Structure 1
Amino acid sequence: MNTRWKPNVTVAAVIERDGRYMLIEEHTPEGLRLNNPAGHLDPGESPEQGAAREALEETAHAFTPTALVGIYMSRFQREATGEDVTYLRFAYAGELGAEEPGRALDTGIVRTLWMTPDEIRASVDRHRSPLVLQCMEDHLAGQRRPMNTVITDATVFKR
């Protein structure tokens, strides 16, 4: 049987303020892990809309993407089950907006925290993915691509 391989498309917000990066701490099957505010792209949304939605759901802050940091692929193999998953991540830099008072964080999210680049580098064993560090390093290096690098055709938004 010939099965078509499909990566899991995810979106992430790379949020920096005053030399610190906002990460989330979340429960995963592998334990408590650190990640960028990130998650799966939903049907009917563009990658930048997905990044804004995920940031809001996981941090209770509005997020406006202003630049594409990069498009990344990574592979994850869960030891306990043998699950083999490839992720295709669109990571966006942007502006962090106001917090929505009283908004609950997504299920599994413990808290948000602000970390320096050195703290993030020192905590690599707690990262949910190698892309947490890679996105930060690319952001620090000034990697920014125009928002129109990724084009979302109008057909995506049709119901």
Structure 2
Amino acid sequence: MKNDRWAPRVTVAAIIERDGRFLIVEEETAEGLRINQPAGHLEAGETLMEAVVRETLEETAHAFVPLALVGVYMAHLDKPAGGTTYLRFTFCGASSGAHEARTLDAGIVRALWLTPDELRANAERHRTPLVLRSLDDYLAGRRFPLDLLHTHSVGPSGTQ
């Protein structure tokens, strides 16, 4: 029996501010060179916070400590072969600095620090409209406590 259940792709993103600048990645995509917050997909068995810590380290070489949830965003991206829906959890937090010897993920050209004005001036290069939307929410002071999120493990028999 074919499973035709629709499911969104779950992603995480990090907002890290230092001296009025934000940690951003420049990455190669099918649409060319784009800029994005450190972000990526939730992997099997991970919590959302584990995923954002891992993705930030892989893409920027910065250790990330999530302090709050900025928002949960859904984006429907229509592509010629059919649409994809992303459910994105954006966290804000702190970095203890970069691990200089660490290699960045494949496709990541570099990590850089940009001001909000620089990000706005490059909106056409954003990987997704959620880059600016989540930054604006962060700048507006939107913060939700991390205990808003719960992860429940289910055993092999389906019991919790």
Task: Provide the C-alpha distance between the structure 2 equivalents of 1:115 and 1:139, rounded to a whole number of angstroms.
Answer: 15
Shift of 1:120: 0.8
Shift of 1:113: 1.0
Secondary structure of 2:111's counterpart equals: strand
The 5 Å alignment of 1:60-139 reads 60-78=61-79, 81-139=80-138
Task: Provide the C-alpha distance between the structure 2 equivalents of 1:82 and 1:117, rounded to a whole number of angstroms.
Answer: 34
Number of equivalent positions: 154
Question: 1:152 maps to what in 2?
Answer: 151
Task: Provide the C-alpha distance between the structure 2 equivalents of 1:155 and 1:145, rounded to a whole number of angstroms.
Answer: 26
Secondary structure of 2:141's counterpart equals: coil
| TM score, norm. by length of structure 1 | 0.92
The letter for the 2-side match of 1:62 is A
The letter for the 1-side match of 2:30 is P
Task: Provide the C-alpha distance between the structure 2 equivalents of 1:155 and 1:66, rounded to a whole number of angstroms.
Answer: 27
Question: 1:18 maps to what in 2?
Answer: 19
Shift of 1:122: 1.1
Shift of 1:2: 7.6
Secondary structure of 1:105's counterpart equals: coil
Shift of 1:5: 1.1
Task: Provide the C-alpha distance between the structure 2 equivalents of 1:2 and 1:74, rounded to a whole number of angstroms.
Answer: 23
Shift of 1:83: 4.0
The letter for the 2-side match of 1:47 is L
The letter for the 1-side match of 2:87 is L
| TM score, norm. by length of structure 2 | 0.91
What percentage of residue pairs aligned between the two structures are identical?
53
The letter for the 2-side match of 1:143 is R
- Any gaps of 5 or more consecutive residues in structure 2? 156-160
Deviation digits for residues 68-116 of structure 1 (CA, Å, limit 9, x no counterpart): 00000012223xx534211000000011122112110000000011111
The letter for the 2-side match of 1:127 is H
Rg: which structure is higher?
2
- Point out 4+ residue stretches in structure 1 off by more than 4 angstroms: none
